[in-house]
Structure 1
């Protein structure tokens, strides 16, 4: 069964609940090491802080949100795809959609998430630094990655 055509559009407030469901499902896979209680606490922060403050782009399969990317200037604050749609180039499509809008893209991924860094490396990101603790001071190593915008020739 093929997917309806993928479209990407700016975030709309009515997307909030569906995007939170996508965020939580994807985070349970990629960030399970943080624990369910932490993920539920972070879900409220995503709802109350990150979605309202970020420049968000939503991927739709037909009319259904299946993923989103949130930018804070040139920093990818989050890229989340519904696990039921993993492997369908939705994450790649979101990155490629926002890439021309910025002179470069940077992000941080948990080293403990085995899929994140390899995914971004395939998209041309390179590691530029690491730090031992996350933003809350927990001992989870973060990898900072960057992709420069290709120069016009």
Structure 2
């Protein structure tokens, strides 16, 4: 039985910490990204992308952000868990919240991020399409997935 955490909406004051969680998560899972791309995306995450989504996060007892979710137009645009907090059910809880509370049934995932592809598959998402490049035109194929629970 996984823990249940309170899901909160962060404020702009939390953006630097959210960006730190994003970077730690990317470094732990996106081994295909060169340092230059992490450096390229960091200010975009902080200054643009977080403003473009409805953000939700889970914090620990000390108030530190363990993971966050960003949804726009009923699509999961971001779901990142701090590597030190993986395996605690945080991603599962945020994903279920996105589906059940926000009606977000679609997402894109980097094809090379095999852990995430497997996680979303286990959570009931199926691949419905593929793009050879990411949203910025970079050569990181995306899998388009949609929630299709069995049963």
TM value normalised by structure 1? 0.88
1:129 corresponds to? 129
| SS of residue matched to 2:32 | helix
Mapping of 1:95-114 within 5 angstroms? 95-114=95-114
1:105 CA displacement = 1.5
C-alpha separation between the residues in 1 aligned to 2:119 and 2:78?
14
1:35 CA displacement = 0.7
C-alpha separation between the residues in 1 aligned to 2:137 and 2:12?
31
| SS of residue matched to 2:133 | coil
1:5 CA displacement = 6.2
Q: Would you say the 8 A contact 1:104–1:148 is kept in 2?
A: no
1:83 corresponds to? 83
Q: Would you say the 8 A contact 2:125–2:149 is kept in 1?
A: no
Deviations 1:107-129 (A, max 9, x none): 11111111011100111111100
Unaligned runs of 5+ in 1: none
1:65 CA displacement = 0.9
| SS of residue matched to 1:41 | helix
Mapping of 1:13-52 within 5 angstroms? 13-52=12-51
1:17 CA displacement = 1.3
| SS of residue matched to 1:115 | helix
1:52 CA displacement = 1.2
C-alpha separation between the residues in 2 aligned to 1:112 and 1:22?
20
1:140 CA displacement = 1.9
Q: Would you say the 8 A contact 1:103–1:148 is kept in 2?
A: no
- What RMSD in Å do the two structures reach over aligned CA positions? 2.0
Q: Does 1:68 align with 2:68?
A: yes
Aligned length: 148
Higher strand proportion (structure 1 or 2): 1
